[in-house]
Homo-oligomer: A and B are copies of this chain.
Amino acid sequence: MPLRHPQLNEKGELRHLLTIEGLPRELIHHILDTAASFVGVSDRDVKKVPLLRGKSVFNLFFENSTRTRTTFEIAAKRLSADVVNLNIDTSSTSKGESLLDTIDNLVAMHADMFVVRHAESGAPFLIAQHIDRMRGRGHVHVVNAGDGRHAHPTQGLLDMYTIRHFKGDFTRLRVAIVGDVLHSRVARSDIHALTTLGVPEVRVIGPRTLLPGGLEQMGVRVFTSMREGLRDVDVVITLRLQNERMRGALLPSAQEYFKQYGLTQDKLALAAPGCIVMHPGPMNRGVEIDSAVADGEQAVILDQVTFGIAVRMAVMSILAQS
A11 at the interface (CB under 8 A from B): no
Residue of B nearest to A58 (CB): B70
Please report the C-alpha to C-alpha distance between residue A88 and residue B66 in the assembled complex, in whole angstroms.
8
Q: Which of A47, A84, A108, A291 has its CB near the most chain B CB atoms (within 10 A)? A: A108
Give every chain B residue within 8 A of A285 (Cβ-Cβ).
97-98, 101
Give residues of chain A (81-112) contacting chain B, Cβ–Cβ below 8 Å.
Answer: 82, 84, 86-88, 97-98, 101-102, 104-110
Please report the C-alpha to C-alpha distance between residue A102 and residue B67 in the assembled complex, in whole angstroms.
9
Give every chain B residue within 8 A of A73 (Cβ-Cβ).
84
A77 at the interface (CB under 8 A from B): yes
Give every chain B residue within 8 A of A56 (Cβ-Cβ).
47, 74, 77-78
A43 at the interface (CB under 8 A from B): yes
Known: A82-B74, A82-B78, A305-B108. A44 touches B54 (CB 8 A): yes
A48 at the interface (CB under 8 A from B): yes
Known: A110-B309, A305-B105. A54 touches B46 (CB 8 A): yes
Give every chain B residue within 8 A of A88 (Cβ-Cβ).
66
Residue of B nearest to A291 (CB): B97
Give every chain B residue within 8 A of A46 (Cβ-Cβ).
53-55
Give every chain B residue within 8 A of A98 (Cβ-Cβ).
282, 285
A71 at the interface (CB under 8 A from B): yes
Give every chain B residue within 8 A of A37 (Cβ-Cβ).
none
Please report the C-alpha to C-alpha distance between residue A110 and residue B77 in the assembled complex, in whole angstroms.
13
Residue of B nearest to A294 (CB): B101
Contact across chains for A105 and B53 when beta carbons are under 8 A apart: no
A244 at the interface (CB under 8 A from B): no
Give every chain B residue within 8 A of A44 (Cβ-Cβ).
54
Of B42, B67, B97, B110, the contact of A110 (CB 8 Å cutoff):
B42
Residue of B nearest to A107 (CB): B302
| A113 CB → nearest B CB, Å | 12
Give residues of chain A (271-321) contacting chain B, Cβ–Cβ below 8 Å.
Answer: 281-283, 285, 291, 302-303, 305-306, 308-309
Can you name 17 A-B pairs with beta carbons within 8 Å?
A43-B110, A45-B54, A46-B53, A46-B55, A47-B56, A56-B74, A56-B77, A66-B86, A70-B86, A74-B82, A77-B82, A97-B285, A101-B282, A104-B302, A108-B303, A109-B305, A110-B309
5 shortest interchain CB distances as A-B pairs: A46-B54, A108-B305, A42-B110, A48-B54, A108-B302
